[in-house]
Structure 1
Amino acid sequence: MNSLYIAFNMLRRTLLQKRGFLIYLLIPASLVSLIIGVAGQEKHQVDIAYVNMDRGPLGAHLVQELMLIPDYSLQEAASEDDIKEDVTKQKVGGAFVIPEGFSETLLKGAEPQVDMYQLSVSEAAVTLKIALDSILSGYQETVDVHRKQGLQEIQLQAAVEKTLSQINKHQVKARVTDLNLYVNPSMHLVIGFMLMFMMGVVNNTISVIMEDRRLRTMARTFTAPVRSIEIMLGNFLGSFLVGTLQVLVILIVTRYVAHYDYGLPFFSQFVMLEFFLLASMGIASAVAGLVKNASNLGMINSLIVTPTCMLGGCFWPITLMPDWMQKIANFVPQKWVIDAIQRMAAGHALSQMWMHMGVLTLFALILLGVGTVILNPEDAEVG
C-alpha cells in the first residue's frame, strides 16, 4: 500500500497538472502525428513525365496502358528538354520519350527504342522500365504473329490496330492480392520518435525523486516504516502509469486520427511498448540512485536517452551501422522493441516475441534492483 500511495502521488504531480498533461500526453501525440504527416505516409503514385512524338497507334496505346497502372501519374511534357529539366530538378520520379516513327519501327519487325531519363536508380524508375519492356514485348509478339500470316503492310497495320482495340477492352484482368508481408519503410522512424518521447518519462521519474530529495520529503518518508524498495517501487509504478497513458494516447491518435498503418494489431503493439516502458522505468530507477544533484539532470539526455536511441535504431536502421555497433545495440532496449514490432508487422505473432519480451523484462528487473540498492532515501540533495 505504501508503494501505491507514492505512485498516486506521482500521478497527481504530473498528469493531473496542466503542464504535465501537455508535456506527457498532448505534445508527444501531436509531434508523432506531425512526423507521420511529413515522412510517415507512403506516396502511392509516382509522377512520370513523357513525350510522345509517334503519330501511329502504338505510341498512343503505350501511353494509355501506362496510365492504367495505379502506381504512376503520367504528365505530358512539351519537349524532351522540358523532361530533362523536370528530372534534374526532381519534379518527377522518372521520364520516357516515345520516338518519332515508333509504330513504323514495330510494324517492320525491328526493335523500338524508348528513351528513359532518371536522376538516380530508384524503385519507381526500375518498375517503369519493367512495365515498358513488358508492353513492348507484347507489341513485338503481336506483330510477329501477324507477320507470319504473310500480311502486307496495310493489312498488317489494320490487323495490329484491331488487336489493340481488343486489348483496350481488358476483358482479362489480373488481381493483385496484397498479403501485407512488407514493412512500412518509415516504421523505424515513427516508432523511434515514439520511444524517444516515452524515454521522457525517465526524466519525469528522476526529477520527482530529486525534488523529494531537495525538500527532504523522501527522508521524512524513510523515517516512517517505509523501506527503500517500497519508495523505488512507488516511483516506478507512478511513472509506469504515466507512460501507459502516454502510449495509449499516442497509439489512438496515430492510428485513428492520423490513420497511420503500422501493419500489426493494436494489442500486440501496445504490449511490446509496455515491455519497453518497463525497461525505461528500470533505467530511471538506476539513474535516480546515481544522480545526487538536480543540475545534473540536463546530462541525462546527452548521456542516456539520445545515445541509446541512436544505437537502438530510432533514427536510422540498425543494419546501416558497423558490425561492432550492431553488437552494442543488443544492450539497449530500443533495439529489441523496434525489432519486435517490425517482425510482427512482417507477419510474426506476439507469442513468437517471447525472447524480446524476456530481454526487456530483464532490463527492468536488473536495473530496478540496482536502483533499489544504490538509492539512499535518507540523503538530501548534494550541492
Structure 2
Amino acid sequence: MKNLIWLAMNNLKVTFGKKKGIISYFVLPVVFILIPIMIYSNVGNSSVRIGIIDKDKSSLSTDFVKAIEKQDSLRVIDINNENPKGEVAAGKVDCVITIPNGFEGSVYNNSLKQPEILSLKGESSTVWINNYSNIYLRNLIDIWKASKGNKQIFNKIYESSKENSLSFKSVSVKDTTKGKSMTSQSIGFLIMFMMVGASSFAEIILKEKKNRTYFRICSAPVSSKIYIFSNVISNFAIVAIQSLITLLAMTKIFKIQTYVPFWQLYIILLCFGFVAIGLGLLLVAFSKDSTQSNVLMNLIVTPTCMLSGCFFPVDFMPDAARKIADFLPQRWVISAIEKLQTNGNFSSICLNILIILAFAFTFFIVAAYRFSRDENIKNFV
C-alpha cells in the first residue's frame, strides 16, 4: 500500500511540476465553457421584426396592420417597399408581410387572398405572425359567413368585434432551453478534456518505459499491477478534481442553470472518468511510443465526441450517425443528463450508468490483457 501511494503521488508530482499541467487539466475546461455561453447568450431575447407592405390600402387591410402593431411579440419596422427582399437579406427585418391588392374584396367574395410572408429564417421567425394572421383572417371570413353576404350586417358585426379585438396576452415564462443546451455542450467539452487528459496522463507509462524507469521499478519489490494501479488512482484523482472545478465554475461563476442536481452530474462524470482512464490505458497498451499514442488519441477522441453530441445536438445529424452514436460512451453521458433535465429521477439513468461502466470495464480488461502480453519491456525504444 505504501508503494502504491508513493507511486501515485510521484505521478501527480511529475504531471503538475510545470504550470502547463495545471492549465491543460483545470484551466482550459473552464475557459471552454465560454463557447456555449456565447453561442446561446442572444437566443430568444428579441421580438420578431416585421416589415409590412399594404398594397390594398383598404379599411380591412389597415385594421389588420394596426392589429399586428399591437402585439408585444411582433415589432413593425418601416422598410423600403420597393425592395423587400433586400431589407430581409440585410437583416433589417426578420420577415416582410405583403397584403395584396383586392384583399378587402376577396373577403366579401368569400375567397380570401392570403398575405404573403417573405423570410430567410424559415418558421422560427414567422411562426408567431402565421398563427396570429391565420386566426385573425379566419375571424373575418366567419363574420362574412355569419352576415350571409350582407355588407351592412358584416360591417355592424365587424365594428362590434373590433371593440373586443383578438389579441395575444403576453406572459413571461422561464426559458429552460438555453440552460439545458449550455449544460450539454459545457459537459461535452469537459468530456473531451477528460479523455485527452487521461490519455496524456497514461503516457507517463510510455515515457518511463522509454527511459527504462518502468523496468527499474518492476525490478524492485513492486509488481507491474501495482504500478498500473497507481497510474489509475492518480489519474482518477485528477479527473475528480477536474470535474469538480468545472462544475463549480459552471454553476457558481457562470451561473448556468443545469436543471440537474450537482451531485448527480458529478456522479455521472466520475463514472465517465473510468471510461477516460480505461481508454487512455488502452491507447498506451497498443502504442509503441508517445507519437503513436497521440495519433491514436486524435483519431479516436475528437471524431467520437462529435458523433456523440458533445459539441452539438445529435438531432442535427443523419440517422446513420445517430445509430453510431449509441455505440459511444460519450453519448450515454449526454443522454443521462438530458433525461435528468426532463424531470427524470436518478433511477431513470441506471441503464446509462451501467453502460458507461461497462465501457470502462471493457477498456480496462483489454488493456490489462495487452499489458500482460507485453514481452518487450527491455527492448522498448
Would you say 1:266 and 2:262 are equivalent positions?
A: yes
- Name 1:33's counterpart in structure 2: 34
**Of residues 364, 369, 372 in structure 2, which corresponds to 1:368?**
364
- Name 1:223's counterpart in structure 2: 219
The answer (yes or no) to whether the contact 1:263–1:345 under 8 Å persists in 2 is yes
- Name 1:156's counterpart in structure 2: 155
* Structure 1 residue 193, shift from structure 2 partner: 2.6
* Structure 1 residue 251, shift from structure 2 partner: 2.3
* Structure 1 residue 294, shift from structure 2 partner: 2.2
* Structure 1 residue 208, shift from structure 2 partner: 2.0
The answer (yes or no) to whether the contact 2:251–2:257 under 8 Å persists in 1 is yes
- Name 1:235's counterpart in structure 2: 231
Would you say 1:68 and 2:83 are equivalent positions?
A: no
- Name 2:137's counterpart in structure 1: 136
- Name 1:11's counterpart in structure 2: 12
Would you say 1:122 and 2:123 are equivalent positions?
A: yes
Moved more, 174-183 or 346-355: 174-183
- Name 1:283's counterpart in structure 2: 279
The answer (yes or no) to whether the contact 1:182–1:346 under 8 Å persists in 2 is no
- Deviation per CA, 1:56-78, whole angstroms, max 9, x where unpaired? 4613432234x323xx4x24133
- Deviation per CA, 1:66-93, whole angstroms, max 9, x where unpaired? x323xx4x24133333432132345543
Output the CA distance in 2 between the equivalents of 1:43 and 1:164. Answer: 31
- Name 2:204's counterpart in structure 1: 208
- Deviation per CA, 1:276-297, whole angstroms, max 9, x where unpaired? 1111111112222222312323
* Structure 1 residue 150, shift from structure 2 partner: 7.7
- Name 2:82's counterpart in structure 1: 81
- Name 1:197's counterpart in structure 2: 193
The answer (yes or no) to whether the contact 1:183–1:342 under 8 Å persists in 2 is no
Would you say 1:382 and 2:380 are equivalent positions?
A: yes
1:62/1:5 CA distance change after superposition, 3 Å = farther
Give, as a single letter, the amino acid of the residue that structure 1 aligns with 2:84.
I
1:82/1:150 CA distance change after superposition, 3 Å = closer
- Name 1:50's counterpart in structure 2: 51
Give, as a single letter, the amino acid of the residue that structure 2 aligns with 1:307.
P
1:364/1:78 CA distance change after superposition, 3 Å = closer
- Name 2:25's counterpart in structure 1: 24
* Structure 1 residue 141, shift from structure 2 partner: 4.6
Output the CA distance in 1 between the equivalents of 2:151 and 2:318. Answer: 62
Output the CA distance in 2 between the equivalents of 1:138 and 1:62. Answer: 13
- Deviation per CA, 1:208-246, whole angstroms, max 9, x where unpaired? 222322333332322333222222222112112212222
Would you say 1:257 and 2:261 are equivalent positions?
A: no
Give, as a single letter, the amino acid of the residue that structure 2 aligns with 1:241.
A
Partner SS state of residue 98, structure 2? strand
The answer (yes or no) to whether the contact 1:262–1:345 under 8 Å persists in 2 is yes
Percent identity reads 22
Output the CA distance in 2 between the equivalents of 1:22 and 1:358. Answer: 32
* Structure 1 residue 360, shift from structure 2 partner: 1.2
Give, as a single letter, the amino acid of the residue that structure 2 aligns with 1:64.
E
* Structure 1 residue 37, shift from structure 2 partner: 0.8
1:265/1:337 CA distance change after superposition, 3 Å = same
1:109/1:363 CA distance change after superposition, 3 Å = closer
**Of residues 331, 348, 352 in structure 1, which corresponds to 2:344?**
348
1:122/1:151 CA distance change after superposition, 3 Å = closer
* Structure 1 residue 101, shift from structure 2 partner: 7.7
- Deviation per CA, 1:142-184, whole angstroms, max 9, x where unpaired? 6766x5798848x936x7456434448x7x9586877969995
The answer (yes or no) to whether the contact 1:181–1:347 under 8 Å persists in 2 is no
Higher RCO (CA < 8 A, seq sep 6+)? 1
- Deviation per CA, 1:322-357, whole angstroms, max 9, x where unpaired? 54x545434321121122222222332221111111
1:340/1:167 CA distance change after superposition, 3 Å = same
Give, as a single letter, the amino acid of the residue that structure 2 aligns with 1:14.
T
The answer (yes or no) to whether the contact 2:199–2:279 under 8 Å persists in 1 is no
TM-align CA RMSD = 3.8
- Deviation per CA, 1:281-319, whole angstroms, max 9, x where unpaired? 111122222223123233133332123223423345546
* Structure 1 residue 367, shift from structure 2 partner: 1.6
- Name 1:59's counterpart in structure 2: 64
1:42/1:381 CA distance change after superposition, 3 Å = farther
1:133/1:3 CA distance change after superposition, 3 Å = farther
Give, as a single letter, the amino acid of the residue that structure 2 aligns with 1:379.
I
Would you say 1:293 and 2:284 are equivalent positions?
A: no
1:91/1:276 CA distance change after superposition, 3 Å = farther
